Amino acid sequence: MGKAKHNSNLPPQWVRDHMVSGEDFELTYDAELKAYKTTPAPLNLAPYYDHPEYWSHQHRAKGFMAKVYGMVREFNVRRKLRWLKRAAPNAKKLLDYGCGTGVFLNAAKESGWYVEGLEPNAKAHNIAVQNGLKVCLDRKEVSLKPYDAICLWHVLEHLENPVEMKRWFQEHLSERGVLIIAVPNFKSWDAKHYGAHWAAYDVPRHLWHFSQESIEAIFGSDFSVLKKHPMWFDAFYVSLLSEQYKGGRSNWLNALVVGLWSNLMAIFTKEPSSITYVLKKR
């Protein structure tokens, strides 16, 4: 693994943890995976998730931005269920890997899926279990395998070894099973605009940083990409956080303009802020 020479089309060399610690981390290039890795990766990541603004691990977050996040999340849940149904119309068994408090998992359960979740964060895991969901703390505990579908909604970037995880997904998917992965895209216009302040770098919680080439390099030999779905709302949400990191306050107008322009540019460049990939075993 070595350092990539920096230019405007590549991620910055150093990025700060704006949310929790204020520490700086280096982004080093992995030529084999065509992805960037947060360096050094902390031995204990748990404290970096223990923050009131880390809403994905909260069931009822407070504040205006949290409410906006909640409304967008509900819209996205319905959209994700449509993507899942189209990708696996006759499937029944679902694993939501990194399910958080179980919002999507519960929606899938109500839609008729046999569901199981995996969530290593103890607080989020406990909330999901209290809501009557079957959620494991460790992947060794999963029991409904093989699964017809495995979903990772903004989770792969948090995992230490993407190649090892690819093999795990292969082993735990049924013959016609689908793998659905949503990740930020460091080649998006908003990523280039905000540079080191781009909130979707989210170091050190995000251990990896991907582009479309990264996903092909990691999964291409064993999975086929059936579909790519732009996640249009992510450009606005990420821009809003990025404005706060950049200027110390929320600038709704700037975030709206940047998010809109990034989405418009993505129509031509095919590089949206975040992308959901639907993959199938070869």
Q: Which pLDDT score is estimated for 91?
A: 84
Give dist(CA 118, CA 120) in Å, integer: 7
Six-digit token string for 276? 């959901």
pLDDT on residue 63: 62
User: How high is the pLDDT of residue 262?
Assistant: 98
The pLDDT assigned to 57 comes to 47
Name the burial class of residue 199, with classes exposed (0-12), middle (13-18) and buried (19+) by CB atoms within 10 angstroms of its CB. buried
Domains in the chain with CATH codes: 14-281 (3.40.50.150)
Rounded mean pLDDT for each run of 10 residues along the chain, 282 residues in total: 54 94 96 97 87 55 62 86 93 94 95 95 91 94 93 97 97 95 98 97 97 98 96 94 89 94 98 98 89
217: left (phi over 0), alpha (psi -120 to 50) or beta: alpha
Q: Which phi and psi (to 5°) does residue 89 adopt?
A: -65, -25
Residue 5 pLDDT: 41
Cα(255)–Cα(166) distance, rounded to whole angstroms?
Answer: 35
Who contacts 157 (Cβ-Cβ below 8 Å, separation ≥6)? 183, 184, 202, 206, 207, 208, 209, 210
Q: Give CA–CA dist 178/7, Å, rounded.
A: 36
In the prediction, which pLDDT does 69 show? 66
Q: What is the pTM of this model?
A: 0.91
Query: By C-alpha distance, which of 147, 257, 143 is closest to 194?
Result: 257
Distant-in-sequence, close-in-space partners of 219: CB < 8 Å, separation ≥ 6: 166, 179, 225, 277, 279
| Sign, Cα dihedral of 222, 92, 96, 129 | negative
